[in-house]
Amino acid sequence: MIPREVGPLPAEPFLVEKEPAKPVELSIIIPVLNEAGTLLQLIEGVRQEVHRLGRQWEIIFINDGSTDGTETILNGFAEQDNRIRVIHFRRNFGQTAAMMAGFNFAKGDILVPIDGDGQNDPADIAKMLDLLEQGFDVVSGWRKDRQDHFIRRNLPSILANRLISFVSGVRLHDFGCSLKAYKRTVVDGIRLYGEMHRFLPIYASWHGAKITEVVVNHHPRRAGRSKYGLERVAKVLLDLLVVKFLDSAAQKPMYVFGGCAIFSLALSFLAFLWMLYLKIFKNFPFITTPVPLIVIVTFMISMMCILLGLLAEMIMRTFYESQGKPIYNIRESRNLEGPTTTPRRF
């Protein structure tokens, strides 16, 4: 049961009903961490919106290791409506892991993640679904009028979004907005690690998804506190390096390491020529200049880069071949059956 101090149930009672005969069309995925103060208003707003849409729905809450009354409240929701599903993590694994769990257990053809802090507006889901019906595969929310502290939250977000758009080539104003809508065909096969949830539209674009964005409402936080601060700027930059590497060199890592090797080898050769020039024409002993050390160090770096590139190539081939993963992605086909050859496995 829901504790008295949390507040009464919404005016409209939950309906305990059997699993709907029709398949689930819409899965609302809500990661939460210590959000007991906002859950009642959030669930009421989401339920009203999905009832208005008239689709078969489910709501999946992922409790990411909360230490307040969140677990008790979520269990109360699940007992009163079996369309509300709850996953409790053993500890805090982060928003990316929570979102990945929601994607894995969702049954709907359309997946809509939304923040559990009450700042996203469930009423925006309808216009996202309209855009999906127009042929888009991913609809990303844009918090154009963001209700957060400008210095701590808004300014770093603006700069980060511009950098991400420039590096990735995916032009969005707000990668950090959790409110998005995905067709299941886009999300299937995507695996997220670390704190990569904000880059999910980029992963989708690699699979040929059509992406658009829509302006969404953003409300001030009603209760609790933000789980993010300025320290996430460094994390975003490091994650962006990973995304760029996966985009441009995941299938050809030797190009990256080999390029570094060629650059280092060229530096070593030029330093060697300069060393000879100083010895022959200037009569400088080798021991009086650091040039010989530069020659040796840059040559060793080039050899290490070549070896790392070869190792990365072996790992990449093992990754694809051991799992039977293709190096291509097919959007659709006509008059075509399965592949005529079975991928070789170790």
From 184, 216, 248, give the residue that closes a domain: 248
Are 257 and 243 part of one and the same domain? no
Question: Does residue 286 lie in a domain region?
Answer: yes
Question: Does residue 344 lie in a domain region?
Answer: no
**Contact (CB, 8 A) for 78 and 86:** yes
Question: Domain range spanning residue 236?
Answer: 4-10+20-248
Are 42 and 69 part of one and the same domain? yes
Distance between first and last Cα of the chain: 52
Query: In terms of residues, how long is the chain?
Result: 346
Are 74 and 203 part of one and the same domain? yes
Question: Does residue 335 lie in a domain region?
Answer: no
Are 136 and 267 part of one and the same domain? no
111, β-bridge pairs: 27, 182
Are 81 and 214 part of one and the same domain? yes
pLDDT the model gives residue 288: 82
Are 270 and 295 part of one and the same domain? yes
Are 312 and 292 part of one and the same domain? yes
Lowest mean pLDDT among 8-22, 47-61, 279-293: 8-22
112, β-bridge pairs: 28
Q: How far apart are CA 142 and CA 119, in angstroms?
A: 13
138, β-bridge pairs: 182, 211
pLDDT tens, residue by residue, 158-209: 888 888 888 888 889 888 888 999 999 888 877 777 778 888 888 888 878 8
Please state whether beta strands 180-183 and 211-215 pair in parallel, antiparallel, or not at all (unpaired).
unpaired
Are 166 and 273 part of one and the same domain? no
Question: Does residue 275 lie in a domain region?
Answer: yes
Residue 180: its H or E element: strand 180-183
Are 142 and 264 part of one and the same domain? no
Q: How far apart are CA 93 and CA 95, in angstroms?
A: 7
Are 229 and 286 part of one and the same domain? no
Is residue 13 very low, low, confident or very high in pLDDT (cuts 50, 70, 90)? very low
Question: Does residue 94 lie in a domain region?
Answer: yes
**Contact (CB, 8 A) for 174 and 140:** yes
Question: Does residue 43 lie in a domain region?
Answer: yes
Please name the amino acid found at residue 106: A
pLDDT the model gives residue 28: 95
Q: What is the DSSP letter of 36?
A: T
Are 49 and 171 part of one and the same domain? yes
Q: How far apart are CA 174 and CA 159, in angstroms?
A: 10
pLDDT tens, residue by residue, 273-320: 999 998 888 888 888 888 999 999 999 999 999 999 999 888 888 877
Question: Does residue 332 lie in a domain region?
Answer: no
Are 68 and 122 part of one and the same domain? yes
The count of domains in the chain is 2
Residue 140 has a CB neighbour count (10 Å cut-off) of 25
Question: Does residue 224 lie in a domain region?
Answer: yes
What's 81's domain CATH number?
A: 3.90.550.10
Q: How far apart are CA 15 and CA 273, in angstroms?
A: 82
Percent of the chain past pLDDT 70, that is, above it, reads 81
Residue 4 confidence (pLDDT) above 50: no
Closest CA to 140 of 132, 148, 151, 152: 132
pLDDT tens, residue by residue, 125-151: 999 999 999 999 999 999 888 776 666
